[in-house]
């Protein structure tokens, strides 16, 4: 498994999202259920969001996020930063190993 920090940047003001935020969060729930995402949340101030994710490849992660309502409606862009989590809490072992 490869691991990523993902930075989401809004391309429109957050005040214009309306119900799109609920759709995006429902989409993120799928990533949490599938074990792709460890955590996700908005930046402070709310100019975008941050996520910790894993996938077999960057291409697989791109394919997953291509279905994000924010992407489909061109309301945000993504920046993917791959990293190697060599130091981590013991409770993360299974997630990092891909279990």
Q: Could you give the number of structural domains in the chain?
A: 1
DSSP secondary structure code for residue 17 in this structure: -
Does residue 67 register a pLDDT over 90?
yes
Cis peptide before 45 (omega within 30 of 0): yes
Domain that holds residue 34: 2-97
Per the CB < 8 A criterion, the answer to whether 79 and 67 are in contact is no
In the block, tokens 């691991």 appear at 3
Distance of CA 15 to the CA centre of its chain: 21
What's this model's pTM, rounded to 2 decimal places? Answer: 0.91
Looking up residue 10, the CATH number of its domain turns out to be 3.30.70.1060
The residues that bridge with 52 in the sheet, in sequence order, are 5, 39
How far apart CA 2 and CA 83 sit, in angstroms, is 8
pLDDT at site 36: 96
Per the CB < 8 A criterion, the answer to whether 82 and 41 are in contact is no
- Reported confidence tier of residue 99, pLDDT bands at 50, 70, 90: low
Write the pLDDT tens digit of every residue in 26-53. Answer: 999 999 999 999 999 999 999 999 999 9
Q: Which of 52, 61, 45 minimizes the C-alpha distance to 7? A: 52
């Amino acid at each position: 498994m490869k691991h990523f920090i993902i930075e989401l940047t809004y391309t429109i003001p957050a005040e214009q999202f309306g119900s799109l935020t609920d759709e995006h969060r429902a989409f993120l729930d799928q990533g949490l259920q599938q074990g792709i995402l460890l955590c996700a949340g908005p930046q402070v101030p709310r100019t975008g969001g941050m996520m910790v994710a894993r996938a077999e490849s960057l291409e697989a992660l791109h394919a997953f996020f291509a279905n994000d309502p924010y992407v489909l409606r061109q309301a945000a862009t993504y920046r993917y930063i791959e990293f190697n989590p060599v130091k981590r809490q013991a409770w993360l072992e299974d997630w990092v190993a891909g279990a």
